[in-house]
Amino acid sequence: MQQSKLVGILQKFSKKDLKSLHDYLCSPFFNKNPDLVVFFTYLKKHYPDFDKASFSKENAFSFIYQEDYNEKKIGYLMSDLLKMVEGYLVQKQLDENPFEQNLKLLLTYKDWKLEKPFKSTLREIEKYLQKGDFQDAKGYYQSFLVEEIKNLFFDQQQKRTYDESLQIAIDNLDFYYLSQKLKYSCEIINRQNILTANYELKLFNEILEFLRTNPQSQKPYIAIYYQILQTLIDSGNEEHFECLKELLKDYTPLIGKEEARHMYHYTINYCIQQLNKGDAQYLREAFELYKIILDNEVLVQEEKMDHRNYKNITSIACLLGEFEWAETFTNEYIPYIEKNLRHNALMYNMAQLHFHQKDFNKAHHYLSQMERSEVFYDLGSRSLLLKVYYELNELKALQSLLNSFRIYLKRNRIISDYQREIYLNLIKYLKELIRSKGQTEKLKEMKQAIMENKNIATLEWLLSKVNQEILATV
């Protein structure tokens, strides 16, 4: 019984939800079987772990019935209680959603052709939907649903007059479609930049052309995702980034935290991509954006922060020399990282901090404490360890890591083509740097090649090492 679907769901319940579920089961409107209340009482005694030796179907049966154990009967009871639990979850969602409640009322009054309560409920819904100038995709869809019902109600009356609800319905449907199409297109293109994945974007060019030639269709929410998309497909044009920043500045107070988190994620990713291409001004841009969203508590959701943000924020702060800020952030936000990632996240951030403070032995210590895990930390820890070995002049260890890292990049099929390219280029030029030490002309040629390529991980550090070697030969 411990492995049943019923118990698995109940383990996710809070104590407050458990009490509400009890009230739900005690209601004769929802539950006609009093045995389910008794069964639930037994289950509550074993909440939340349900792992005691006494927890079993046989003991549950004995708690409910004064008769010999019947496997089929307890099975039916578990199935019936599961349906009740799921019914409670649906009812809870409905209770917490006034829009859905009023929409169902509106449909009922439309079906019953009750004009007065229909109009009264409609006023309540329209009041709920009045959100000022900013509306997200969900809002457009909700508006469409309301206007659709209004149009059906109008048709029932068989009046031969103009009704704007039909036009408003189709407009909101268009806005909803454009919003979601842009949002999902951004996610698809972003994933293709990170992982090897094949997706098909139908009507993509046609939609972009429509939005370009019909700027009036770019409502704020649509305009934001349109500019995000432009930063992904036309990253060389900085006007898209500047426009995106202005839009976010104007509308962030009106955007929900979850949506704002997605939007800023793309904006900061653009900064990081530009940094990887050698444009150092975007370091401060990214840092200031991170500080804004930290101040607005956008990055923490349900006491959790994405480990990638945690790593990137520390990395950027260290690159800017904001060591005290970086250390405070690292220690303050580590409790918000998922447990299974917390150790690697902390070790990597501490390694970064000490590396940039030029305490390379301490950085090596923290990197050696890391466990091999997902691609994200594997790439970061291996490339940072390359730099540590170089700085410590541990050439034998460096050569070994360069070779093993190259094999890892070649064999791992999860890594995107872009990531594979930038890290293979780092390996290529680092090997060349080692071979070219003391050879001024070769070093200068190498510097020129790096400047022309730019698709190299940790580009700024590599250039600084090349420049250092060039100066050493003068």
One-character DSSP codes across 218-262: --HHHHHHHHHHHHHH-TT-HHHHHHHHHHHHHHGGGS-HHHHHH
* Nearest by Cα to 316 from 272, 250, 369: 272
Within 17-142, strands assigned E span: none
* Residue 133 pLDDT: 58
Q: What angle do CA 278, 382, 232 make, to 5 degrees?
A: 40
Q: Out of 87-91, 158-162, 351-355, pick the least confident.
A: 158-162
* Residue 388 pLDDT: 97
What phi and psi, each to the nearest 5 degrees, are found at residue 394?
A: -90, 75
Structure tokens that stand for 55 in this block:
């927890």
* Residue 132 pLDDT: 57
* Residue 105 pLDDT: 97
pLDDT at 258 over 90: no
* Residue 131 pLDDT: 63
* Residue 375 pLDDT: 81
Give the mean model confidence (pLDDT) for residues 395-424: 93
CA–CA separation, 248 and 254 (whole Å): 10
pLDDT at 331 over 80: yes
- For residue 371, the 8-state DSSP code is P
| Position 15 confidence tier, pLDDT thresholds 50, 70, 90 | very high
One-character DSSP codes across 292-307: HHHHTT-SEETTEE-H
What phi and psi, each to the nearest 5 degrees, are found at residue 371?
A: -100, 145
* Per-residue model confidence as pLDDT tens digits over 273-312: 887 777 889 999 999 999 988 988 888 888 999 998 899 8
Residues 6+ apart with CB under 8 A from 65: 35, 73
* Nearest by Cα to 185 from 196, 195, 173, 177: 177
| Position 130 confidence tier, pLDDT thresholds 50, 70, 90 | confident
* Per-residue model confidence as pLDDT tens digits over 410-450: 999 888 888 999 999 999 999 999 999 999 999 999 999 99
* Residue 162 pLDDT: 75
CA–CA separation, 465 and 469 (whole Å): 6
* Residue 398 pLDDT: 96
* Residue 36 pLDDT: 97
Residues 6+ apart with CB under 8 A from 456: 276, 422, 425, 426, 429, 450, 462
* Per-residue model confidence as pLDDT tens digits over 165-176: 899 999 999 999
Tell me what the pLDDT averaged over the chain comes to: 92
* Residue 198 pLDDT: 81
Percentage of residues in the chain with pLDDT exceeding 70? 98
Give the mean model confidence (pLDDT) for residues 53-65: 94
